Structure 1
Amino acid sequence: MSGPTNVMPEHVKRYMGRDAQRMNILAGRIIAETVRSTLGPKGMDKMLVDDLGDIVITNDGVTILKEMSVEHPAAKMLIEVAKTQEKEVGDGTTSAVIVAGELLRKAEELLDQNVHPTMIIKGYQLALGKVQSILKDMATTVDVEDKELLKKIAMTAITGKGAEKAKGHIAEIIVDAVTSVVDGDGKIDTDLIKIEKKEGIAVEETSLIKGILIDKERVNPQMPKKVEDAKIALLNCPIEIKSTETDAKISITDPTKMMEFIEQEEKMLKDMVEEIKASGANVLVCQKGIDDLAQHYLAKAGILAIRRVKKSDIEKLTKATGANIISNIKDLTADDLGEAGVVVEEKVAGDNMIFVKECKHPKAVTILVRGTTEHVVDEVARAIDDAIGVVSCTIEDGKIVAGGGAVEVETAMRLREFADSVSGREQLAVKGFADALEVIPRTLAENAGLDAIEMLVNLRAKHATEGSTTFGLNVLTGEVEDMAANGVVEPLRVKTQAIQSATESAEMLLRIDDVIAAEKLGGGDMPADMGGMGGMGGMPGMM
């Protein structure tokens, strides 16, 4: 017999069967453990330092995972779970990853008992279907006009993040902002809520502008600094002399002709300004450039002008003021103008900015986020982003559930009862799924410095004896309390999306029984144990 035949190149490594499964499960669990300590009101923060020395301090799960330098392919798949959760609902990213990690841990225990991965996956799918129906059954319908309730939902999302000390004030701002941009179908485009960050003063100074804040200044200091009862023209064409589209050469031999040529250019610019003035506009927002001479004429006409404004800001201005974007100045009429109570240039943190505010029915608004340092402002902005997501979900769906681990304990209890009706080895997977859900209240207790086992036993007892679905762990008092009565509530969509994403990612990793990997993967060596999960640049060994 000849020796073994190699069909793979030398630099390719292959992991099969249990080795591949264990390796992927370990990578997923490491990712889950990384963010686990950040969960809940008492969660800790992570400091992430990149190879340029830039620092990010946060306890936002998706931000941590995005900023980390991860090379392991299975770990990257789990990071996608957090990104999807962030994109779809805005909050619950940490919970999704933690549940996925725990599902993988339970699957590993079943694999050790020689339960086939297909059986585990089938059991998880049965469990997921049951969980979704249990969650729908537990959810309560809310009046989306109830601003106090929406405020409580926003405060739940903010608690434990950098904005917590001003959570009441910020929650009110978020509810006002989200309810302003609801369209006729009850849908919300969160992109219409602009978040502008400026450091310098306390978080409590964060404010809502019923209009748009533009990070620009007047093009000419002779222009008015403040315009009340503003009539706003939006242009996406330059106020400049157009160059010819074909190459042309003009020969001028007579100096008087030269003067006529210059005067003609001046007249063209003056005519443009006259047309803007004739429309009744006293504020001009231009996406392109404005000629120096045109600036002079605009200033003489008493028009406040801003140039080179971002397309996204111009589009938000149309929603906030009701103005139409014009491509040709000749087409500008009074009907195309938008309205705002006041347009004013103010200095914020040393920079001049234009405030377009007091709009009558703005369908786009701005939250000006303040904080003492750049890192504080960034973390507050992340908390606001999460809260906007959960308030939007609540208004769109009108369904909420209790927080503080109440949902997970109740669901796990009902899932164990359901498991008894499942035959075959899938029953073990359903029970494992139920145990995995309880990682949320257990982690909340651990992060608050409480006895996790004692808290979990108390929670189970409360749910079993009193039949209440809303009792959860109040980490601030260390007691089992009615979380719905305490105002700790979350949108149903956050929970369903988190559990579904976690289950699907765990199933995907369990299906893999063969990993064929080049030694060089993503620019880094893939060690023999596939542990290629380098830490942040400049922080080797972080993981």
Structure 2
Amino acid sequence: MRREVSSAGQMGGVPVLILKEGTQRSKGRDAQSANITAARAVAAAVKTTLGPKGMDKMLVNSLGDVIITGDGAYILKEMDIEHPAAKMIVEVAKTQDEEIGDGTTTAVVLAGELLAKAEELFDMGVHPTIIVKGYRIAVDKSKEILESLAKHVSPEQEDILMNIATTAIKGREDHSMKTRLAKIAVEAVKAVTDVSDGRKVDPDEIKIEKLEGGSVEDSELILGVVIDKERASINMPRIIEDARILLLNRAIEIRKTETKSRIDITTPEQMMLFLDQEEDLIRDMVHKIENSGANVVFCKKGIDDVAEYYLAKSNILAVKNVSEKDMEKLSRATRAKILTDLEAISDSDLGGACIAEEVRIGEKKLIFVRECSNPKSVTVLLRGGTKHVVESMETTFNDAIRVVGTVIEDGRYVAGAGAPEIEVSLGLRKYAASLKGREQLAVYKFAEAVDIVPKALAENSGLSSIDMLVELRGQHERGVKDAGIDIYAGKVVDMARTGIIEPLRVKIQAIDSATEAASMILRIDDVISAGRERMPGAPPPGPGGY
């Protein structure tokens, strides 16, 4: 129930005005029900995208642009959501995506189901505070159960890393294509892993370049950097082997003075002398580059036409107007220092690569810096027949590199396909029986809510969720802790044997994020919305306050 609030009480029969005219307010069960309904609607919007056989959504913006995706985080980011409680569920997806990169849909769907079970507890007369307390108890126990299920993995166990990457690559029925992308993901992550910092992985060091044309098989990992630029001059060499790379954070041209100045030239001879002096200065810059031993130059700023001529004459490949981000990646890949001065360039300032070349792919020209020695920044070139294909590949490939990075950092994984959720559900049911008080009911409902993950996986695959849950519980109770739903075979199998596995952190983060959002929404019992401001001279609002 929503009503306009203009006072909160009376003193001697006189109303005391505390809220602005037009303010909307809902309290108690009305506020809780409205918030839960809004949050559950968001969860329902992405529920059908869960799993490898999940459906896609078509998003059409105000300009008519169409995006087709099955990525829960992307869908929620693009949806124009206004309800404050619904926005909290969107934050769940955002947090999961930023922390792990995968499991966003699982977290959102679980949050929606926790709220649905909370409504059932409301009907039984359980207070929200008790529900929240019970949910926190259930989370702690869930983590304990998940920890007991975890298996250890090292970066050298490439077969396990491949399985984790393949599991994250959603929506590709072609096994060979999934294997191709998974292999690239594993190699890319291993290349940028910082072993000196406890196996730290920074996904930003893996640059992704998307190119329309070709097929997924043409996708490749470049142990170096690919830049969406071309040579500064067509007279420069197209390819340089044994590249000696110089990175400049300055222009190769005459700097403009900071103050305004005037030069009076009255004769043609003076003009020629002035131009000759400028050319000499530029020639001196190029001479310093040449003397440094560099044969490839990447410049953050511009390169004068005269400088381009002399660089080409010296057989130096130069690229201008390179972005700061690409300059940093080049530095990480080639070990070159980014210089602001051409004076006294030492050998240690230069970076190295086997090959630097300009490559034409379709109508596009790109600069490839290949085969760097022990690069800490790499590039993945994704190819696909259409724009939609490469964009979809980028989303799923990002998930793959994030989960591989996570499992390399943590060194632990669990079975996928609903196996850990069923184990948590069964464990919580047994645990709830040992508790006293109404928290026991909340823990039991939490166990029921966790079942939503295998149920949704089965439903989205065209299988009977009831039959799958019965079979899952039966196998887990018989001790097969890794039993999950093989959506392709349509039956319950041991996921550890089939290679459907996920990082432990994905599951823990999903349960944490979902419970935190659900608890926050359940604690709200009063929603006050500010009234809309009226323009001066406008008529007063109607009965609804608007």
TM range, normalised to the smaller chain? over 0.9
Deviation (angstroms), 1:2: 4.4
What letter is aligned with 1:453?
A: I
Structure 1 residues 98-123: Cα deviation after superposition (integer angstroms, max 9, x where no partner): 00000000001101111000000000
CA shift, 1:164, in A, is: 6.6
Deviation of 1:500 (Å): 0.2
Matched residue type, 1:67:
E
Q: 1:175 aligns with which of 147, 171, 186?
A: 186
Q: Give the deviation of 1:233 after TM superposition.
A: 0.4
Comparing 254-263 with 122-131, greater Cα deviation is found at 254-263
AA aligned to 1:431 is Y
Q: What whole-Å deviation, never above 9, does each CA across 1:356-381 have from its counterpart, x for those lacking one?
A: 00112111100011111111110100
> Is 1:489 the counterpart of 2:493 in the alignment?
no
Deviation of residue 487 (structure 1)?
0.3
C-alpha distance in structure 2 between counterparts of 1:363 and 1:7, whole Å: 60
Note the C-alpha offset of 1:256.
2.1
**1:440 aligned to 2:456?**
no
TM-score by length of 1: 0.94
Q: Provide the residue aligned with 1:518 in structure 2.
A: 530
- Retained in 1: the 8 A contact 2:172–2:178? no
Structure 1 partner of 2:62: 51
Listed as ranges, the gaps of 5+ residues in structure 2 are: 1-11, 534-541
Q: Distance in 2 between matches of 1:518 and 1:24?
A: 17
**In 1, distance between residues paired with 2:240 and 2:340?**
24
- How many positions carry a matched residue from both structures? 523
Q: Which residue does 1:376 correspond to in 2? A: 389
Residue matched to 2:158: 147
Which residue of the partner structure matches residue 23 of structure 2?
A: 12
Change (3 A) 1:197 1:519: farther
Within 2, Cα distance between the matches of 1:159 and 1:288?
A: 41
Alignment of 1:370-449 (within 5 A): 370-449=383-462
Counterpart residue number, 1:38:
49
SS at structure 1 position matched to 2:343:
helix
TM alignment of 1:39-438, pairs within 5 A: 39-160=50-171, 166-183=177-194, 184-185=196-197, 186-438=199-451
Shift of 1:144: 2.2
Displacement after TM superposition at 1:6 (Å)? 4.8
Matched residues in 1 for 2:419 and 2:27: separation? 40
Q: 1:262 and 1:231 mapped to 2: Cα distance?
A: 31
Q: Give 1:246 shift.
A: 1.7
Deviations 1:447-498 (A, max 9, x none): 011110111011111111x212100111111111000110000000000001
The match for 2:32 among 21, 27, 30 is: 21
Q: Distance in 2 between matches of 1:455 and 1:290?
A: 65
CA contact (8 A) 2:132 2:522 kept: yes
Q: What percentage of aligned pairs have identical amino acids?
A: 52
| Displacement of 1:249 | 1.4
**Residues 328-348 of structure 1: CA distance to partner in whole angstroms, max 9, x if unpaired?**
111422221111111111112
User: Which letter maps to 1:191?
Assistant: D
Q: 1:528 deviation in Å?
A: 11
Q: Is the 8 A contact 1:393 1:491 kept in 2?
A: yes
Q: Distance in 2 between matches of 1:7 and 1:409?
A: 51
| Superposed CA RMSD | 1.7
Greater shift in the superposed pair: 333-342 or 284-293: 333-342
Partner Cα separation in structure 2 for residue 450 and residue 4 of structure 1: 61
The farther-off stretch of 117-126 and 9-18 is 9-18
Contact 1:141–1:398 (8 Å) recurs in 2: yes
Kept after mapping to 2: 8 A contact 1:402/1:470:
yes
Report the Cα distance in structure 2 between the residues aligned to 1:477 and 1:3, rounded to whole angstroms.
73
Task: Quote the residue 2:511 is aligned against.
Answer: 499
CA drift of 1:19 comes to: 0.8
Q: Distance in 1 between matches of 2:171 and 2:494?
A: 19
Deviation at 1:163, TM superposition (A): 8.3
Q: Which 5+ residue runs of structure 1 have no aligned equivalent?
A: 522-526, 530-543
Instruction: Give, in whole Å, the separation in 2 of the partners of 1:293 and 1:163.
Output: 53
Q: Could you tell me which residue of structure 2 aligns to residue 474 of structure 1? A: 486
Whether the 8 Å contact between 1:188 and 1:396 is mirrored in structure 2 is yes
Report the more deviating stretch, 54-63 or 255-264: 255-264
Return the alpha-carbon distance in structure 2 between the equivalents of residues 316 and 136 of structure 1.
Answer: 37
Shift of 1:54: 1.2
What is the letter of the counterpart of residue 18 of structure 2? V
- Alignment correspondent of 1:536: none
1:227 Cα deviation (Å)?
Answer: 0.6
